[in-house]
Amino acid sequence: MADLDTPASRALDPAEPLRDELAELEVVASDLVYDGMVWDVRSDTVRYGGREIVRQYIDHPGASAIVAVDEDDRVLLIQQYRHPIRHRDWEIPAGLLDVPGESPLETARRELAEEVDLVADEWRPLVSLFPTPGGSDEVVHVFLARGLTAVGHAHAREAEEADIRIEWVPLADAVTGVLEGRLRNGILATSLLAAAETLRRTAAASASFAGAAE
């Protein structure tokens, strides 16, 4: 077993799939630097490589996000103001994991209804990602939602969500926007690429099965 107090330097095993590795290093001290409304900032002293290093990061509750695709392979995108980047960027519906006991899927269902007034019959885990692993412990769980219908009433919205813009865009066009650098939201980019590839593989598998059955 590798010594967790020193950086790993071993060759990859070609028989094992490539994956991120959990590293439970000794945290010598952990201090709350800022107690925020949505997330906190912590300063940790960690024993690493035979010495102690200090790292400050956002302590985040995590989030769920949704790639909602309709029967015409259009994806639902939302646009709203984001003050840190001074942009109204295009995103996918998402929300914080801030309800005790609520699973990421339950959060995704709730956010789809509250943010864009939709419910979905089909839910599929798509990808989980660390948006900014150098500065935050946030994990975002992304789900693919299909079989979409409108809820019976619109939810009240405020602040940045009060003038939210909603558009249905062909998934292929949205992916092109990511690849051409016109859509730069990280969660959106990863999620759209994952959705497009997942749907491509699903279609290919269905075609292969149909061909074999003939």
Domain ranges in the chain? Answer: 1-58, 63-203
Using CA atoms, how far apart are residues 105 and 125, in angstroms rounded to an integer?
A: 8
Question: In what helix (H) or strand (E) does residue 122 lie, and over which residues does it extend?
Answer: strand 118-129
Q: What is the pLDDT of residues 76-95, one digit of tens each?
A: 999 999 999 999 999 999 99
Measured distance CA(156)–CA(114) in Å, rounded:
8
Query: Is 89:79 a contact under the CB 8 Å cutoff?
Result: yes
pLDDT-derived band at 15 (thresholds 50, 70, 90) equals confident
Q: Check pLDDT > 60 for residue 7.
A: no
Distance CA 12, CA 27 (A): 27
The fraction of the chain above a pLDDT of 70, given in percent, is 88
Q: Would you tell me how many other CB atoms lie within 10 Å of the CB of residue 78?
A: 18
Count Cα neighbours of 31 within 13 Å in the Cβ-side half-sphere.
7
For range 119-133, the mean pLDDT: 97
Q: Which of 200, 185, 168, 56 is nearest to 131 (CA)?
A: 185
Q: Are 42 and 56 in contact (CB under 8 A)?
A: yes
Is the overall model pTM greater than 0.85, yes or no? yes
161 is catalytic: yes
CATH architecture, domain 63-203: Alpha-Beta Complex (3.90)
For β-strands 40-48 and 51-59, DSSP reports them as antiparallel
Catalytic residue among 16, 26, 115, 161: 161
Taking 50 as the threshold, does the pLDDT of residue 201 lie above it?
Answer: yes
